[in-house]
Amino acid sequence: MDRRGLGIVTILLALAAQPVQAGQIVVSAAAPNVLTPSNGSVQVLTFEGLTDGALPHFAFSGGSLSGDGAVESTTTGIYARPAGDLTHYLTVAGLLASGDTVIHLDAPTNYFGLYWGSIDPYNLVTFLKNGHEIGEYSGSMVANLTGLAANGDQRSTSSNRYINFNFGSFLYDEVILSTTNFAFEVDNVALGTPVRVPEPATALLLMAGLLGLGALRRQRHGLRR
């Protein structure tokens, strides 16, 4: 491969390594009283069948959940059942005033959804890919993007809504749900279908092969003149 080909490969690899900006993630809210994702093919964590109490670790098909969360089914002075949700739900940080719950996926995907109860400005959703942050959304930011209210109201449909994060052609493999005050309540957490991506070495060989093929065709074309 000539220097020009090597230069193109270097540029392509540099572009691939750039982080995804938050503006490339499309955030939307479902209609009022919708508690589940509209896409029936995604995986949904409902927290049903789990015992009330701390949830330091939970393994599911294709990933795991860990951290300071707790599974609950009632409303207390610390956390509140999401409006209209009569099932078990996850409260981030549990009995702690602040903390986080990490959802790790074995393979990357491009969709995330959750029924977000009593949206508060100090609730935070952070997306990562290979350990690098690619987007971060507070309750206030999501409310501004979707026309909702981050006022912690436990009953209003304007602060209890199913929120969708669509990444398009971009991917994430980890989500951090965190809060700096009581509390962050979620349910029916949806994870898009995992997307298998080539290893970096495989992608490099593929690009190099394509560039080499192009160079060979140009040489043959030049010989025919």
Half-sphere exposure (CA, 13 Å, Cβ side) for 128?
A: 13
Comparing 72 with 201, the larger pLDDT belongs to 72
Flag whether pLDDT at 200 surpasses 60: no
Residues 6 or more apart from 155 whose CB is under 8 A from it? 83
217 vs 104, more confident = 104
Of 39-53, 122-136, 164-178, 184-198, the one with minimum mean pLDDT is 184-198
Its sign, for the CA torsion 150, 123, 137, 71, is negative
Q: What's the pLDDT tens digit per position in 19-31?
A: 444 458 999 999 9
Contact by Cβ (8 Å): 191, 42:
yes
- Single-letter amino acid, residue 126: T
Q: Which residues contact 140 (CB under 8 A, 6 or more apart)?
A: 121, 150
Task: Could you please state the CATH topology (level 3) that the domain comprising 35-196 is classified under.
Answer: Jelly Rolls (2.60.120)
pLDDT the model gives residue 32: 98
Place of tokens 């394509």: 210
Q: What is the pTM of this model?
A: 0.80
Distance of CA 174 to the CA centre of its chain: 6
DSSP codes, 132-194: EEEEEEEHHHHHHHHT---S--SS-TTSSEEEEEE-TT--EEEEEEEESSS-EEEEEEEEPPP
User: Which class for 129: exposed (0-12), middle (13-18), buried (19 or more C-beta within 10 A)?
Assistant: middle
Task: Tell me the mean pLDDT in the region 95-106.
Answer: 97
Of the candidates 65, 62, 58, the residue with the CA atom closest to the CA atom of residue 101: 65
> Which residue in 23, 29, 25, 33 sits closest to 164, CA to CA?
29
